[in-house]
Amino acid sequence: MTKKTAVLFAAFALLASQALFAQAAAIDAAISNAARDISARVPQEARIAVLNIESDYEDFSNRVINGLIMNLVRTGQFQVVPRSTVEMEAAREELGFQMTGYVSDDAQRRLGQFLGADTIITGTVARETAATYRLVVNAIDLEAFAFQYVHAASVPLDGQIAALTSVVIRDYTVGQRFGMSALNTIFGAGSIINGHRIGWAVAGGHTLGIGLIAIASVMDPLWHSDMTSAELRRRQQRADRVGISGYVILFCSLAFGWIIPVSHTRQGAVPAGHIAAGGFPLGFELVSTNGRSINGARVMYTRRF
């Protein structure tokens, strides 16, 4: 391989690598830019507390919160309150505070004061268009309770954001299936409660079996002592047949009720495991983005260093 060819090959590899990871860096770049701009507006040595980022997706909020804390610490310009301290103080003061959801201005101000912060960081993440999310990060001077800086950026809906905003519904655990089986002994209640109509078949089987057993008891010759021996014998045989049929149906219905939860699948659940073979670096997983049905796919890539 000539030197020129080697250079061209290296350049091509670099471009391909950048293209592969450009989207994955979009959210991280937006967080880094927000922290950089905030550090240019907030006085050095200020005590900063990242309080909350409101969004519909806890994982997305956590990614932004942790990223802001990490980038602000890296500047070396501020005293950044650890996230654990924020959560512990919020719990101690019983503010009903959540770092990934809506928080009132009063709760933000009170928590910032409890933490001894000079500046608090809050923000939101919301869907902007079909292809982008809007990230807004606010730096608020706690003494005046006025904005020091507001950073806004559009973040493309790439694979990383899709992973953070996907609602992955896990299927029933072994314990949950066992619980459904146990409840199915009560007229299929376990399956019915969990939205599986087959539970009504179990309920029907229980009802029919118990009904036949009850009919057999009424037909028992002991209740008809005025009959002849032949009539009693025929009556007994009929009663026995009805009773045995009732017990068989009830037993089969009970067994079916115990077994059927094995086949139950939670609505919108991701199948157990994802498609990936051996040491192959790519994994494929079906996901739900609406919490009701599987309507998307997630591709996972593993890198080892």
Residue 139 pLDDT > 50, yes or no?
Answer: yes
Residue 223 structure tokens: 């209740």
Mean pLDDT of 87-103: 80
pLDDT score of 181 more than 50: yes
Position of tokens 């932004």?
Answer: 64
> Does the pLDDT of residue 192 top 50, yes or no?
yes
Tens of pLDDT, residues 36-64: 999 999 999 999 999 999 988 888 889 99
Beta partners for residue 121, in sequence order? 50, 139
Amino acid at 91: A
Confidence category of residue 11, pLDDT binned at 50, 70, 90 = very low
Closest CA to 81 of 108, 89, 30, 98: 89
pLDDT at 262 over 70: yes
Average pLDDT over residues 93-115: 83
Mean residue pLDDT of the chain comes to 78
Mean pLDDT within 174-180: 89
Residue 126 clears pLDDT 70, i.e. is over it: yes
Looking at residue 276, its pLDDT comes to: 38
| Terminal C-alpha separation, the chain | 28
Length reported for the chain:
305
Q: Is it the case that residue 165 has pLDDT exceeding 70?
A: yes
Percent residues over pLDDT 90 in the chain: 36
- Evaluate if residue 188 carries a pLDDT over 80: yes
Q: What is the dihedral of CA 138, 142, 148, 150, to 10 degrees?
A: 10
Residue 151 has pLDDT above 60, yes or no: yes
**pLDDT given at position 13:** 41
Residues linked to residue 52 through DSSP beta bridges, in sequence order? 122
CA distance 106 to 257: 54
CA dihedral 215, 221, 226, 227 (to 10 degrees): 100
Q: What is the pLDDT of residue 286?
A: 53
272, pLDDT greater than 50: no
pLDDT one-digit tens code per residue, 195-242: 898 999 999 999 999 999 998 888 776 655 555 677 777 878 888 888
Give this prediction's pTM: 0.49
Task: List the structure tokens of 265.
Answer: 């699948």
Tell me the percentage of the chain whose pLDDT exceeds 70.
Answer: 74
User: What phi and psi, each to the nearest 5 degrees, are found at residue 70?
Assistant: -60, -45
| Residue 252 pLDDT level (bands cut at 50, 70, 90) | very high
Q: What is the pLDDT of residue 70?
A: 94
Residue with the bigger pLDDT between 123 and 234: it is: 123
Q: Are residues 45 and 77 in contact, defined by beta-carbon separation less than 8 angstroms?
A: yes
Q: Which of 35, 92, 96 is nearest to 65 (CA)?
A: 35
